[in-house]
Structure 1
Amino acid sequence: MTRTAVVTGASSGIGAATRAIMTETGWTVVGLDLTPSDDGSVLQCDVANPQSVADAIERVRTQFGPIEAVVSAAGHYEIVRLEDITPESWSRMLRVHLGGLANVSRAVLPDMIERRSGTIVAVSSELGITGGDSEAHYVAAKGAMIGFVRSLAAEVATHCIRVNVVAPGPTDTPLLPAAQRTPEYVAALPAGALATTDEIAQVIQFLVDEGGFCVGEVISPNMGAVI
């Protein structure tokens, strides 16, 4: 009997790589994304909308059974100086990242608590730890995800549910800005390369399948950008 997992932001980047590696390791994985797939493996869902998430999660449960793992990887990024961040842009950044994590967690936790089993992995960023230039709203949202995970992990650990966060460094995804793709920037990284989405997905898959001792942890695979 296969286990069921939900991955948000599953149509591209880290979410798509995570969906692939978890499928390869025996999970039935259903993605949630604004861009759905033709084969039904990725359902259309706005993670910033609590009702959209609740409806999608219920659809997954009905079709595939209990959800045992969730990976919150939906993302949004832009480089904007603080004085140019509009209220709408600030709100969207928080609603997608922090709101998306909170919404999917709220939707799956009652069943996980009842079964006393489950795991949630959030995808934050090493910028949520270190900060970054001209991306205050993105950094604020990613940092808030780390605080949320630590608090939620403490709240549900007694129910045998694990909540952890992966905070990747420079990773070759569509969201990576051009300034972090230059040969000079990449050469300056201690590892001399950007992380791939598959490499980050391997860390996520480890937390889901093997990291039973990890509760409220922040793991930051960042190619040596932060040591």
Structure 2
Amino acid sequence: MSRNAIVTGSASGIGLAVTELLRAQGWTVTGIDLSEAADHVADVSDPAAVSAAITAIQSSTGDVDALVTAAGHYERSPISQISPAALHRMLRVHVGGLRNAARAVLPSMLARGSGAIVAVTSELAIGGGDEDAHYAAAKGAIIGLVRSLAAELAGRGVRVNAVAPGPTDTPLLAADSPWRATEYLATLPNRRLTTPQEVARVVEFLADASYCTGEIISPNGGAVI
């Protein structure tokens, strides 16, 4: 029997790589994204829109076995230039996106006593980064939420874990991003960016690993050792 997964941010980057890998492994995957390329178009920061999308998906495909929250937003800025609106947007997309999707899938997962939630955070949540304060803060909050949900749901059949990638070769990193600079890549043990497909394999592992909950796995190419 095919297992059902929902992936937010499914139209590009890590979310697309996760969607493609899980489908190749026999999962039925439904994507949510702002892009029209997704199966369902919704803003993950909007609780009502996320709830409506996931209700429609469950009505169509059945109960959700795994939720992967990969929708993201990235910008660099010195803290003196981070406006309240920019900070709030970062928190709404990352922390709100996880919260909104998790709240929508948890009733059916808890009723069945099984399910997996995998959130995509960042190694910047662990190590921080120059001019990355609001992004790192939002990604750090995801780690706190993941570990708290894992504790809350322990023993009820629902596992909650996170993947914290290092700089990854996705459209979120502009061509002139300092993370793409030769000087930065030379500081990494493997001298290159992580690929979305490499991150997707870690996500797949956590979606399947029945013994993992509250884990933060960081495929970061040695950016944090």
Q: Distance in 1 between matches of 2:85 and 2:106?
A: 29
In the TM superposition, 1:84-123 aligns within 5 A as 84-123=81-120
Describe the superposition over 1:109-158 as per-residue Cα deviations: whole angstroms up to 9, x where unpaired. 01100000000000000000111111211111000000000000011121
Task: Please name the residue that 2:42 is paired with.
Answer: 45
Q: Distance in 2 between matches of 1:219 and 1:123?
A: 10
Structure 1 residue 184, shift from structure 2 partner: 2.1
Q: Distance in 2 between matches of 1:161 and 1:205?
A: 16
- What is the TM-score of this pair, normalised by structure 2? 0.97
Task: Please name the residue that 1:215 is paired with.
Answer: 213
Equivalent AA in structure 2 for residue 184 of structure 1? E
Structure 2 counterpart of 1:57, from 42, 48, 54: 54
**Cα RMSD for the two superposed structures:** 0.9
Structure 1 residue 191, shift from structure 2 partner: 1.2
Q: Distance in 1 between matches of 2:182 and 2:135?
A: 25
Asked whether the equivalents of residues 172 and 195 of structure 1 are also in contact (C-alpha less than 8 Å), the reply is: yes
Deviates more, 1:176-185 or 1:212-221: 176-185
- The number of residues matched between the two structures is 223
Q: Which secondary structure state, in structure 2, belongs to the residue aligned with residue 67 of structure 1?
A: coil
For structure 1, the 5+ residue unaligned runs are: none
Asked whether the equivalents of residues 11 and 42 of structure 1 are also in contact (C-alpha less than 8 Å), the reply is: no
Structure 1 residue 226 and structure 2 residue 201: aligned? no
Structure 1 residue 56, shift from structure 2 partner: 0.3
Structure 1 residue 176, shift from structure 2 partner: 2.1
Q: Distance in 2 between matches of 1:212 and 1:24?
A: 20
Task: Please name the residue that 1:184 is paired with.
Answer: 183
For structure 2, the 5+ residue unaligned runs are: none
Describe the superposition over 1:170-210 as per-residue Cα deviations: whole angstroms up to 9, x where unpaired. 1111112521112222122011211100000010011112x
Q: Percent identical across equivalent pairs? A: 55
Structure 1 counterpart of 2:136, from 139, 144, 166: 139
Q: Which runs of structure 1 show a deviation greater than 3 angstroms over 4 or more consecutive aligned residues?
A: none
